[in-house]
């Protein structure tokens, strides 16, 4: 049990639609990262937020955007969905203080299917 | 720090030892991680090793790090059927000595344990 939760667990959308995925981090974890895991692949870094600002981004287009809120919750938004966006989306949080700052704790993921 | 390679499949008998291997490219990686993913689930952190260490043991798990060859291995002693899962090796992306928290993952090794 990592203390990181995600919703919904599964989602089906059609091409061109928009989707919002949600994550709730552990209390005190000011950094949240989002990853996309396509079938049969390892997770790919999308972006990272620290204290409500984006501070790192992987090779994903601008239609992938995010928000982080002061209550340790965050969102991943994807516009103009494409078939290749079908994947498991994972959020991970970590603390920026204490001795555990380099450990990321992952949520169970949201399985997105785009038809 | 973007190329993490793992063999895709490993099969062992229950009670035997399993050794999962990984090679990475970023010599400035600070931490290297092993995550476990069971079907339909998120990532569970198993263990990690700091880059100035050669070995770390944690109950049935032994991590060996060869920095010269950029080779990481995970040994699971007395492998059980419950260990059947996908195991991911990951390295932390570093930039100018600071850890940004971005993880680069391999494709994962599917471990199958036969009774």
Banded pLDDT at B97 (limits 50, 70, 90): very low
Residue B39 has pLDDT above 60, yes or no: yes
CB-neighbour burial class of residue B41 (10 A; exposed 0-12, middle 13-18, buried 19+): middle
B43 touches chain A (CB under 8 A): yes
Residue A96 has pLDDT above 80, yes or no: no
Tell me the mean pLDDT in the region B80-87. 96
What is the distance between the alpha carbons of residues B66 and B94, in angstroms, rounded to a whole number? 19
Banded pLDDT at B1 (limits 50, 70, 90): very low
| Residues of chain A contacting residue B36, judged by C-beta atoms under 8 Å apart | none
Determine the residue of chain B that is closest to A109 in CA distance.
Answer: B42
Within 8 A by CB and 6+ apart from B36, the residues are: B43, B44, B46, B85, B86, B87, B88
| Residues of chain B contacting residue A10, judged by C-beta atoms under 8 Å apart | none
Please report the pLDDT score of residue A97 as a whole number.
Answer: 64
Residue A76 has pLDDT above 80, yes or no: yes
User: Mean pLDDT of all residues in chain B?
Assistant: 88
CB-CB under 8 Å, A33 with B101: yes
B4 touches chain A (CB under 8 A): yes
Please report the pLDDT score of residue A1 as a whole number.
Answer: 66
Q: What percentage of chain A has pLDDT greater than the value 70?
A: 93
Q: What percentage of chain A has pLDDT greater than the value 90?
A: 70
Least confident of A28-32, B13-17, B27-31, B104-108: B27-31
Please report the pLDDT score of residue B52 as a whole number.
Answer: 82
Please report the pLDDT score of residue B95 as a whole number.
Answer: 60
Q: Which residue has the tokens 């010599």?
A: B27
| Residues of chain A contacting residue B105, judged by C-beta atoms under 8 Å apart | 42-44
Interchain CB contacts (distance < 8 Å): A and B: 65
Task: Compare A99 and A44 and report the one with higher pLDDT.
Answer: A44
CB-CB under 8 Å, B107 with A42: yes
What is the distance between the alpha carbons of residues B38 and B31, in angstroms, rounded to a whole number? 23
Q: Which residue has the tokens 């993952």?
A: B105
Tell me the mean pLDDT in the region A68-89. 96
Question: How far does B95 lie from chain A, in Å, by closest CA?
Answer: 11
Task: Compare B93 and B52 and report the one with higher pLDDT.
Answer: B52
CB-CB under 8 Å, B45 with A56: no
Tell me the mean pLDDT in the region A71-92. 96
What is the distance between the alpha carbons of residues A17 and A85, in angstroms, rounded to a whole number? 11
Question: How far does B86 lie from chain A, in Å, by closest CA?
Answer: 10
| Residues of chain A contacting residue B86, judged by C-beta atoms under 8 Å apart | none
């Amino acid at each position: 049990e990592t203390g990181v939760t995600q919703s919904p667990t599964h989602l089906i959308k059609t091409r061109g639609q928009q989707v919002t995925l949600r994550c709730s981090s552990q209390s005190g974890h000011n950094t949240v990262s989002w990853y996309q895991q396509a079938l049969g692949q390892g997770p790919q870094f999308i972006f990272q937020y620290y204290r409500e600002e984006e501070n790192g981004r992987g090779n994903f287009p601008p239609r992938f955007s995010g928000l982080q809120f002061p209550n340790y919750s965050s969102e991943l938004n994807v516009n103009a969905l494409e078939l290749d966006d079908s994947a498991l989306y994972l959020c991970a949080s970590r603390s920026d203080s204490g001795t555990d700052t380099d450990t990321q704790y992952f949520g169970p993921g949201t399985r997105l299917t785009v038809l | 720090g973007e190329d993490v390679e793992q063999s895709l499949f490993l099969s062992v008998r229950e009670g035997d030892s399993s050794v999962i291997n990984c090679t990475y490219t970023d010599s400035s990686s600070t931490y290297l991680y092993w995550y476990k993913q069971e079907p339909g689930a998120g990532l569970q952190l198993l263990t990690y090793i700091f880059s100035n260490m050669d070995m770390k043991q944690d109950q049935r798990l032994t991590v060996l790090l060869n920095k010269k060859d950029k080779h990481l291995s995970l040994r699971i002693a007395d492998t059980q059927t419950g260990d059947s899962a996908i195991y991911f090796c990951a390295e932390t992306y570093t930039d100018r000595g600071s850890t940004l928290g971005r993880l680069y993952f391999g494709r994962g090794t599917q471990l199958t344990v036969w009774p």
